[in-house]
Amino acid sequence: MTYNDLRHFADSWGLVVMGMIFLILIAWPFRKANRQRNEDAATMIFRDDDNG
């Protein structure tokens, strides 16, 4: 396999694969299964608030 073969692969399918990985990583935190974990992280700073 030559440099030109690798470059052609990276220009075509490599870009597609990296784009798909990027989209998956962006969408991963928004899964329905992570809703409770995200809610816990968002309200974590208020747990020990004793101003009540």
pLDDT-based confidence at residue 11 (cuts at 50, 70, 90): confident
Q: How many helices (H) and strands (E) does the chain have?
A: 3, 0
CB contact at 8 A, 29 and 41 = no
> What angle is formed at CA 27 by the lines to CA 42 and CA 32, rounded to 5 degrees?
60
Q: What is the pLDDT of residue 47?
A: 86
The residue type of 18 is: M
- Tokens 């992280």 sit at which residue? 41
Q: What is the pLDDT of residue 48?
A: 82
pLDDT tens digits for range 23-52: 999 999 889 998 999 999 999 998 887 665
